[in-house]
Homo-oligomer: A and B are copies of this chain.
Amino acid sequence: MAKQERAVRTREALLRSAAEIFDTDGFVSASLSAICNRAGVSSGALHFHFASKGALADAIEQAAEQRLRLITGPDPGADERSEASPADVDPIQNLVDTSRRLFDQLNNDVVLRAGFTLGCEPSWQSRVDLHGQWRDWIESALRHASDLGALADGTKPEDVVTVVAASTVGFEALGRKDPAWLSQERLGQFWQFMLPRLVPPGTGPQKGT
């Protein structure tokens, strides 16, 4: 293996191990030696990549920010469209699908999950705002839906943003101690209640599946 490739793998192993330990023990309790042990890496190698525990947390949050951006895609109202979000996708279906991808990834990707957990830790000052990033994306999605006439009469995008952003953050917070809250079934219940009230009768997704 080339030297550079080995360095990239070591860095990734350290990020993943740190995320696992932050996720279960919290930032303050996490010890650098436990992170090295789990990654199978010497403490010298850790300090080559990360100057401190704070530098590890920063790197996890930056990685989580990028991963969240991959999950959501660009702002739904933005001019430049990627292939992942073509103009002809129903905007509310896109919101439902994106929330489902986010929950899948929160279950499977410990770096993303640790990024969100770090954002709630009183003893850690985040430099990124994942909750804000998610909320802003939801707001763009709903304004875009409103512009396209895809919201039911009298439904105010700003009220729906509040409900969807608060609920999904609540699922994530509750899911930390009870994984059932991060299940697709629980999310399905949420959309089952929301959708018939969100879109005009007979249009858009009606079931959240």
Residue A131 interfacial (CB < 8 Å): yes
**Contact of B119 with A162 in the complex, beta carbons under 8 Å:** no
- Residues of chain A touching chain B, judged by Cβ–Cβ distance below 8 Å, are 22-26, 28-29, 117, 119-123, 131, 154-156, 158-160, 162-163, 165-174, 176-177, 181, 186, 189-190, 192-194, 196-197
Contact between chains at A186 and B162 (CB < 8 Å): yes
Contact yes or no, A166 B192, CB < 8 A: no
**Shortest beta-carbon distance, A158 to chain B, in Å?**
7
Measured CB to CB, the closest approach of chain B to A22, in angstroms, equals 8
How far apart sit A190 and B29, CA to CA, in the bound complex (Å)? 36
Closest to A22 in B: B122
Partner of A170, one of B119, B122, B123, B165: B165
A186→B161 CA distance, assembly (Å): 11
Contacts of A169 in B (CB 8 A): 170, 173-174
Which chain B residues lie closer than 8 Å to A158 at the CB level? 189
A189 touches B159 (CB 8 A): yes
